[in-house]
Every structure is written in structure tokens, then in C-alpha cells.
Amino acid sequence: MNVREALNHLLASPLFARYEAALQHNSIFDVLAVGTREVSHAAFLRWLMNPQEGHGAGDVPLRLFLMRAASKASPEGGAVSPLDVDLLDFDGASAECEVHVTGMVNGKDTPGRLDILVTLPGAEGSTQPLLIVEHKVYAEQSGQQTEVYKDWASKNPLNQPQLDGVRQPLLTYVCPDITLQSAPPVEPFIVIEYADLSGWLDDVLAHAGVSERARFLINEYKACLIRRDLFDNPQARERQEELESDKQCSEAIKTLKASPTELRGFDGHVNRHAKAFKRLGIVLSRVASRGDAATVVRLRELAEPVFAGSDWGIQGGTGSLTVYYKPLGRSIRAAFDEDELSQLGSPYLQFYFTRPENEVGVLDLYGGIVGGTADARKPMQEWVKNFCSVLRKRVPEVLDNKAKRGNGIAKIRFDFPGIKETADDQSEVVDKYEAELRECVSTMEALKAVIEQWGATDLLPSIKTNFTGVSPN
């Protein structure tokens, strides 16, 4: 099959059309290119949390968010509790974005900027902090952000007449999935993952007073949250598996991936279907853009032969690389129907490598969940936590000296001397890091064997039995 034949077959395939359609479920936030901008997320959440805004729900969104956060707070930390939230008067409550504060860290005054600060009126025209929200979409906290905010909050307590004493403001850390964070927030920050955030939005939508305009915006924002998952949405992943399992489509994809130079003559078609082609690893032979990482491009080239076959999928390969374990998704879909999974969420297991920064690249192996509702997904979260624990114990001892354990399974650092930012990571210097990249692939291959053994012996076919109470080990 040559390039022309491969393109003809792939573009005419209903399987490709379904896959491409699954990738196009964009919210208005994505269309406006603000879906990944933290300031845009914060602005929307501030609008919804401010009782004075025109969403029609008054203080209900703020009260419901505080209830969720307070229910997760440690009762020993002196923070606002659900009982306190029930008593508080939100008349005069205000929500602001980008509030500059200063906190003491390591004996030094350190500046910071709160994504969202919600305050209540205090004595003589002053205000008192009630809620702090730090929101991360893809990035992680920089420096010692949460330590700065913790110190500032400790010096600015909440003292309201309805309460029987002083309280600490609620400190919340909103992110898609805390397992993706290598630098989680300090205590007493409360983690609000996107499933929790989506559940809160559902609670707000249940309030009769929400205006139609606000309902539209909230539903669009919920769609935006589903898209912010770094590993693609479940529907697109399922369609990709169907596409790649078709013999002729698989052959066409392999032909196109192996022919970047010949594709130059068909660049109009490649550009028209760029989103789907890029995710399938089909790219034109070109000079990398300054936003691409040559090390990641080369890593994909080295990893593809290792992960060839029906059990692994590869996505990305310019700024980051994701390699995910397909049998987990297949087993879940065989064990649960779509209605169940819409409540429970869909688990995943994957490697993730992002472009090196500050002379370090990190390979992360972890499991997590996308979708589901905040309460119903808890059993699935526990099941994922269990199998991550099992796999963590099975990680080969040879990795122990360099593998940092956390919420995931393994996190391995690789040194890339001289690459401090993306501009340093270009094709003319990538040969210098061939040894590091090959070591990264060798590490993935060793971990791959552990995962496949677990999948063969524990995952199949008893996943539902394990899920309902038997630890998958």
C-alpha cells in the first residue's frame, strides 16, 4: 500500500469519520481558545461564586461549593466546617481574581497571587477571607505557591458574628486529576478534582433560579472540563481502538506514519485532518516549530516499536507523549454498561512524558479516572487506588533508586543538561540526548512487562469481582 492508496482508504473509512467526529466535541470555551487558560477558568468560577452576579442563583453556587470543600477539610485544622457554612450570612460576599498577597516562606516575605479570593464583610468596612481557590489546568504550582497562601491565610482569619469563634479560611486546589501533579499542595489545602467540580455544577443547575443564559454557560463549561484530561476523551479512545483494530485501516495508518516525506505532496489533506492525524502519529516531514520538543519527537520514534500491537496506544509526540494500556479500557467496557460508566467514570493506566524543562525530563506511570460523578465514582477511585498500589509493589527493584513514588505508580527523572526551556530543545541538539532517551524507553519496556503480567493474571476476566470488593492483587 502506497501513500495515495493509504490516504484514499483511510479518508473514505466510516471508522475514521467516527473517530474524527469524536474529537470535535468542543465547548464554546474551546472554540474561543480559552479552555486551557487558567485565568479564563478562574474568571468563570469567580462569576458563578459571586452572589452579586447575574446568574440568577444568588449565593447558592458559593454555598454549595463551600459545603463540598468544608466536608473534605480536616476537623482538626480549625477551618470553616459545613455547620459554619450553614450559619454564615453571604450578604455582601465578594469574589475577586488575581489578588496579590504576601506570605512568609523560609523566613522571607514571598509574593503570591490568588486565582480567586472570596471575602465576607468585616468590622468597619474591612473584609475577611472565606475561600481561596488555586486552579491548575495543565501546569503545576510554581515555587512554593501554596505555602505562601497558607501563611497569608493563617494571618487573616475569619471572624463572623454567626460563628462561635475564629475560623481559618478554606484553601482549595482545583485540578483535573491530582495524580497528574508531581508537586501537590501543602496541607491544609483541599483538593477539588474536576469530577468534584462537575458534581458541584450539577448541584447548581438543579437550582430553579438559575437563568437560561447561565445554564447554557454552565453546561458549556462542564463540556470544557471533560476535554481537559490530557489523555483524550473515552469516546475518542474507543473510536481510535476500533479504527486501529481494522486490518486495512491499521495498514494505512502504518504506511502514512512511515512516510512523512511522501506526505508532503498531500499536505492539504493532512492539514484538513490535522487533529486526527496528529493523534494517530501521522505528521508531515517538516522543521519542528519552536513549540515542539525534539526530544519528545525522538522518544516517540524509539517507543513505537516497543509498544506496537493491539494492547498499547500512543498519542502526542511533539510537546508530550502519552502511552496508554488498552486492555484496561476494553475490560471496563465489557464489565459495565455505558450508564454505569457515566456514573462510575472510566479508569485509565498510562505513561506520560512531557518536554524537558530546567534540564530534567520526567516519565510518569499512573492510573486515574476520567468522567463519572463525584459520589458515584468513589468505588472506582478505590479500585484504581488498589491496582496502582499493587503495581507500585511490582515495579522492578532496579528502578527503586530513581523512581519517586507518590499517588501514581512510578515517577522517574532523566537529566537533559542544557535544556532549560523549549527553545533549547531543537532538532540540531537532540542527538546529544540519545542515551537518555533510550534509557527512558528501556525503563518503559521494563514497566510494560509488569503491567502486562498484571493484566494477564489479575485484570482479566474478573474485573467486576475485583471492583466489588476484592483487592486486585
The whole-number pLDDT of residue 184 equals 79
Q: Which three cell numbers stand for residue 357?
A: 524543562
Task: Give residue 228's pLDDT.
Answer: 46
Report how many helices (DSSP H) and strands (DSSP E) the chain contains, helices first. 19, 11
pLDDT value at residue 180: 62
pLDDT for 299: 92
Going along 167-237, which residue ranges are E strands?
170-175, 190-193
Nearest to 257 by CA among 303, 324, 292, 290: 303
Q: What is the structure's pLDDT at 397?
A: 60
Predicted pLDDT at 289: 43
The pLDDT score that the predictor gives to residue 410 is 87
Q: Which amino acid is at 458?
A: D
CB–CB of 355/422 below 8 Å? yes
What secondary structure does DSSP assign to 83-148, as a single string?
Answer: HHHHH---TT-EEEEEEEEEEEETTEEEEEEEEEEEEEE-GGG-EEEEEEEEE-SS----TTHHHH
Cβ burial of 398 (10 Å; 0-12, 13-18, 19+) is: exposed
- Residue ranges of domains in the chain: 28-227, 287-467
Report pLDDT for 460: 52
Q: What is the pLDDT of residue 94?
A: 93
pLDDT single digits (tens) 362-397: 898 988 887 777 778 888 888 888 888 888 888 876
What was the pLDDT predicted at 464? 54
In tens, the pLDDT along 291-301 reads 568 899 899 98
CA-to-CA distance for 139 and 111, rounded, in angstroms? 19
Provide, for the chain, the percentages of residues in helix, strand and coil under a 3-state DSSP scheme, each rounded to the nearest 5: 50, 20, 35
Beginning with the edge strand found earlier in the chain, give each strand of the sheet holding 127-135 in spatial order.
Answer: 94-105, 108-121, 127-135, 170-175, 190-193
pLDDT at residue number 303 = 92
pLDDT for 148: 93
All three cell numbers of 11: 479518508
306, 312, 314, 315 alpha-carbon torsion, rounded to 10°: -170
pLDDT (tens place) for every residue of the chain, 473 residues total: 898 999 999 999 999 998 888 776 555 555 444 444 567 788 889 999 999 888 888 999 999 999 999 998 887 778 899 999 999 999 889 999 989 999 998 888 888 889 999 999 988 778 999 999 998 875 566 658 899 999 999 999 999 999 888 999 999 998 877 766 667 788 899 999 887 888 898 889 888 888 888 888 888 887 777 654 433 456 677 888 899 899 999 999 999 988 877 787 787 888 888 878 877 888 765 444 445 688 998 999 899 889 987 788 888 777 788 899 988 888 888 888 878 887 888 888 999 898 888 899 989 898 888 777 777 888 888 888 888 888 888 887 656 545 444 457 888 889 999 998 877 888 778 889 999 999 999 999 999 998 998 888 877 545 555 555 433 34
Which tens digits make up the pLDDT trace of 334-361?
Answer: 888 878 887 888 888 999 898 888 899 9
